Amino acid sequence: MSVQGEIEGVSLSMDGLRELAARVFAEMEHGAVVWLEGELGAGKTTFVQLLVEEAGGQSASSPSFSLVNDYPTGSGDVYHADCYRLRSEEEAVDLDLWGLSRIARLLLVEWPTRAGDNVPPPTLRIIFAHVGDPARRSVQVKRC
Amino acid sequence: MLTLAIDTATDHGSVALCEFGSHIHSRCFAERTHAAVAMAAILELLQEVGANPADVSRIVVGDGPGSFTGLRIGYATAFGFGKAHKNVGIYSIASIAGAARGASDGIAGPVVALYDAMRGEVFAAAYDFSGSNPAEIAPPVVCTLEELADRFPVVAAVTGEVALAAPDFIHQWTGRNPVALGVESPVAAQLVKLANEGFPMVSIDNAVAFRPNYGRVPAAQDKWEKEHETELPNPTG
């Protein structure tokens, strides 16, 4: 399952999500920006946790006062920003996502459209959705 | 007692520093520069009063309601400061109370402060600073401008960015013009004043467990709850 081409709405189990996360980390170039999209509970943060684990970083979590989580890995830092709570695009200025994209091994952004022009355009979009089976998620991958 | 206040709840942030009973020194930030400027401004104030970071005995953080990134920057700055200097106590007072205090001099009766809550609504709260015990009359709520008259029937003054942007409406509601908060007395300076006047503060002993007052649920959560006609069981953030 390469992420260089498009993946159209496949239904993945947790193991499948883990495999996808490993692929994204392995195949995305240094500084790639990955937009994680989908409604609440669709699997975006779980995907981040899996990717960080696969990258050899520490497990992702949501510390109360972080704006952007930084996970050092052997090949550079994976940054994870969640724009879920932003009230306006202007609030994303303080996140400095453009600056982070210049130094990141990977920049993962949840709810990216809430940041407007303050988030760099995606190298890869991953769109998550619920399916009938709560243990699986529909995943669409678009190389941009 | 050297008190430091940090207010980053809205687009216009400020910090203030004051030795009890002395002049309040403060700095305002340009719009949306909280993360870049807050700590530098604090160090500048410390230099101005001839103090060291270790001399600060308490920090008061403006607790919204307001911006997610802004509030987190304010608290992260305070907690970082607290981690480096163990003897500092960290407290919060609603930022909007500071705004109300800034418009209250010479006012007898309730002062209502309004902040922008986005989505066509405002954060509104009322305080009375005219007696010997400054007090919160109504905690921050989210409502429309049109609902204000019912929620706050008795008003002696109205202030806040939203009020200043709608002077005709405020005059129609209260019979008075909105009161501006002077640049020389930003919200952080008002928070120091409130702390020194004995206004009730929340002591933050557990930074990990503490949650800032963002004032309302995120738009995505609101949308989800409306679509599913139930509260989100495990809201994030």
For residue range B81-135, list pLDDT tens digits in order.
Answer: 998 998 899 999 999 999 999 999 889 999 999 999 988 999 999 999 998 888 9
Flag whether pLDDT at B138 surpasses 80: yes
pLDDT at position A8: 79
For residue range B50-90, list pLDDT tens digits in order.
Answer: 999 999 999 999 999 998 899 999 999 999 999 899 889 99
So where are chain B's domains? 2-95+184-228, 108-174
* Strands laid side by side in the B89-93 sheet: B25-28, B14-19, B2-7, B56-62, B89-93, B202-203
Cβ–Cβ gap A84/B237 under 8 Å: yes
C-alpha distances in Å from residue A37, one per residue of A112, A113, B41? 7, 9, 37
Question: Pairing between strand B135-143 and B121-128?
Answer: antiparallel
For A49, the 3-state DSSP assignment is helix
Mean pLDDT in residue range B137-161: 94
Choose the closest CB to A65 out of B35, B75, B214.
Answer: B75
Flag whether pLDDT at B234 surpasses 70: no
pLDDT at position B237: 44
pTM of the entire structure? 0.85
For B182, the 3-state DSSP assignment is coil
For B209, the 3-state DSSP assignment is coil
Chain B residues with at least one Cβ partner in A under 8 Å:
11, 32, 34-35, 67-70, 72-73, 75-76, 79, 118, 207-211, 214, 218-221, 224, 232, 236-237
pLDDT at position B233: 64
pLDDT at position A58: 72
Tokens matching residue B119 = 């989505």
Domain B2-95+184-228 shares a fold with domain B108-174: yes
| Dihedral class, residue B106 (left if φ above 0, else alpha if ψ from -120 to 50, else beta) | left
pLDDT at position A65: 67
Buried b (16+ CB within 10 A) or exposed e, B197-213: eebebeebeebeebebb
Choose the closest CB to A86 out of B68, B79, B224.
Answer: B68
Contact B81, B93 (CB under 8 A): no
pLDDT at position B231: 77
Tokens matching residue A58 = 């520490």
Tokens matching residue B137 = 């009359």
User: Is residue A135 within 8 angstroms of chain B, CB to CB?
Assistant: no
Cβ–Cβ gap A95/B75 under 8 Å: no
Percent of chain B with pLDDT over 90: 71
The answer to whether the peptide bond before residue B65 is cis (omega within 30 degrees of 0) is yes
pLDDT at position A61: 56
Contact B25, B49 (CB under 8 A): yes
By the 10 Å C-beta count (0-12 exposed, 13-18 middle, 19+ buried), B166 is classed as middle
> How sure is the predictor about B49, in pLDDT bands with cuts at 50, 70 and 90?
very high
For residue range A51-109, list pLDDT tens digits in order.
Answer: 999 999 876 555 556 788 899 999 999 999 999 888 888 888 888 999 999 999 999 99
For residue range A28-52, list pLDDT tens digits in order.
Answer: 999 999 999 998 889 999 999 999 9
Instruction: Give CA–CA dist A44/A135, Å, rounded.
Output: 14
Tokens matching residue B117 = 């809550």
Dihedral, B51, B53, B57, B61 alpha carbons, nearest 10: 110
Question: Pairing between strand B2-7 and A32-37?
Answer: unpaired
Mean pLDDT in chain B? 91
pLDDT at position B184: 67
Flag whether pLDDT at A1 surpasses 70: no
Contact B211, B64 (CB under 8 A): no
For residue range B158-204, list pLDDT tens digits in order.
Answer: 999 899 999 999 999 999 999 987 666 799 999 999 999 999 999 99
* Helix or strand holding residue A108 (H, E): strand A106-110
Instruction: Give CA–CA dist A87/B66, Å, rounded.
Output: 9
Q: How many A-B residue pairs are in contact by the CB < 8 A criterion?
A: 66
Instruction: Give CA–CA dist B70/A91, Å, rounded.
Output: 8
Question: Pairing between strand B135-143 and A137-143?
Answer: unpaired
Choose the CATH number for B108-174 among 3.30.420.40, 3.40.50.620, 3.40.50.2300, 3.40.50.1000: 3.30.420.40
Residue A23: closest CA among A59, A60, A50, A63: A50
Q: Quote ipTM for the complex.
A: 0.71
Residue B77: closest CA among B66, B92, B65: B92
Specify the fold of B2-95+184-228: Nucleotidyltransferase; domain 5 (3.30.420)
Judging contacts by C-beta atoms under 8 Å, the chain B residues touching residue A113 are none
pLDDT at position B36: 85
Place of tokens 């700055």: B77
Cβ–Cβ gap A65/B72 under 8 Å: yes
Residue A90: closest CA among B8, B121, B120, B69: B69
- Which residues does B143 contact at the CB level (< 8 Å), separation at least 6? B121, B122, B124, B151
